Amino acid sequence: MRTSWRGSLLHGAVCALTVGALVAGTSTQASATQASARSARSAQAAAPSLREVMFVGNNWEGTADVIKPSGDFAKIGRINVIPDKDQRLTEIYLNPLNLAVFLGIRATAGEGHDQFVDDMYSTPDGSAMVASRPSFGDVVSIDLTTGKVRWRFPVSGYRADHMAVSRDGTRVAVSASLTKTVHVLDINTGKQLGSFATGDKPHENIFTADGKYIWNMSIGNVETNLDDPGLDWTKGDRHITIADANTYKVVKTIDMRSRLNAVGRSDLSNAVRPAVFSPDESKLYFQVSFFNGFLEYDVATDKITRVKTLPKNPATSDDRTTFVNDSRHHGLSMSPDGAKLCVAGTMDDYATVVNRSTLQEGPLVTASKPYWATVSGDGRDCVISESGADQVTAIDFATGRKVTSVPVGDHPQRVRLAHVPANWTSPPAS
């Protein structure tokens, strides 16, 4: 039976702390420990029993499939992420500016479709899903029992994008891609706790493990066809913004342009796409626009240390204007032990597991426009969304081979681990 790798780490840490207290404790300390244990047991008894799952956001459909987080990844249920669709569309059609943005999203980033769900997380108690909805320009909380909207936060500029959740699960950061802003919200109430400014078109967000910082990656104007390297200046200001996760003040910005030039890669874009830290957060691995591969960045020395070019698919055109939103490769995850990276080769129609030490890729697993990569609940597999085939596929980190594929809804993109009540079933259709 596979168990959650996060649960195993937490269990180990709790055991280590308990053993330490027993060895070093006096009778007073023992009493305090016993009281603390009683309190923890009481809190545990009061808390609802939760089940780990995966949320799969079906962007064009406006639904989220709920699947098992490991093993056979079987489907458990489905959530309607746009139960308020009629109300939202009425508001949009009555607001000329909002309507222009709505239609613009459909014509560009949506590839002729509306973008109804981008990113998703569960609340700490597992009672709700919090989702960003690009075409509706908001973040909503959907009650997992009733299927109704609990709260709604309209982002600035009418388009919401990637999100990240804090390590304690209480705050969610969302990119407002048209106003160079990241909003940070209370995940339970939707109240804005703060915000910070970014580069053009903020995209990926990451909370650091220590909870001190939020890293945001801005990707610039990806919706235009001005993709020739000579027109790179039209893409806007693209940089990493590092903000204090408590005060929301910007503490540092990193423009990869000079770092790329320093390693002789002036040919690569400085638009940082999906990114992932090594377990100790000493290294950042990231993808950039138009590139079939990824880069390694050393945080302490502030330098790019390695560049990995991955194979091209001979059937994929090198015409940059054919790449979806400038992303030749889009999706990156890392095994919990930090030994393997998993790369979604979006326009090249494959995914592959890469040895982080040698940067040698494994088998190229055929996939239809894979758009995201994450880690299974037990840490054994990389899970990719195949947006071109309406399925998610698991790939074994150890072997680099495909484990299974599971059908989902129309155009899956983001896949996130989450929690729902242990006896959860799909809410009523709305």
Cα 408 to Cα 72: distance, rounded to the nearest angstrom? 14
Residues 20 and 83 in one domain: no
46 pLDDT higher than 80:
no
Pick from 235, 291, 285, 240: which is nearest to 265 by CA? 291
Tell whether the torsion through CA atoms of 244, 247, 251 and 257 is positive or negative.
positive
Q: Are residues 160 and 229 in the same domain?
A: yes
pLDDT at 14 > cutoff 90: no
> Do 27 and 122 lie in a common domain?
no
**Residue 430 located in a structural domain:** no
Residue 34 pLDDT more than 80? no
Query: Residue 186 forms beta bridges with which residues?
Result: 171
- Average pLDDT of the residues in 109-128: 97
Q: What is the mean pLDDT of residues 92-107?
A: 97
- Would you give the DSSP letter of residue 325? G
218 with 245, same domain: the answer is: yes
Angstrom distance (rounded) from CA 354 to CA 361: 4
Residue 220 sits in a domain whose CATH number is: 2.130.10.10
pLDDT tier at 27, thresholds 50, 70, 90: very low
Q: How far apart are CA 165 and CA 143, in angstroms?
A: 18
Both 20 and 132 in one domain: the answer is: no
How many residues in total does the chain contain?
430
pLDDT digits (tens, 9 = 90+) for 251-292: 999 999 999 999 999 999 999 999 999 999 999 999 999 999
Averaged pLDDT for residues 366-392: 98
In a domain, 426, yes or no: no
Which tokens sit at 287?
Answer: 């993808």
Mean pLDDT, the chain, integer: 91
Does 153 map to a domain?
A: yes
Q: How many domains does the chain have?
A: 2
In a domain, 427, yes or no: no
Return the pLDDT at 418.
Answer: 98
300 located within any domain: yes
| pLDDT value for 429 | 84
Mean pLDDT throughout 402-406?
98
Is pLDDT of 204 > 80?
Answer: yes
Assess whether 239 and 383 both reside in one domain.
Answer: yes
Name the token pair of 163. Answer: 């999100």
Q: Are residues 38 and 52 in the same domain?
A: no
The verdict on 21 and 62 lying in the same domain is no
Do 274 and 297 lie in one domain? The reply is yes
User: What secondary structure does DSSP assign to 242-257, as a single string?
Assistant: EEETTT--EEEEE-HH
Range of the domain at 31: 1-47
Q: Which residue has better confidence, 339 or 19?
A: 339
- Dihedral angle over CA of 163, 164, 168, 169, nearest 10: 30
Q: Is the pLDDT of residue 45 over 50?
A: no
Pairing mode, strands 370-375 and 381-386? antiparallel
Same domain for 41 and 115, yes or no, is no
Does any domain span residue 429? Answer: no
- Residues 86 and 43 grouped into a single domain: no
pLDDT in tens, 239-254: 999 999 999 999 999 9
| 138/22 same-domain check | no
Cα(289)–Cα(199) distance, rounded to whole angstroms?
15
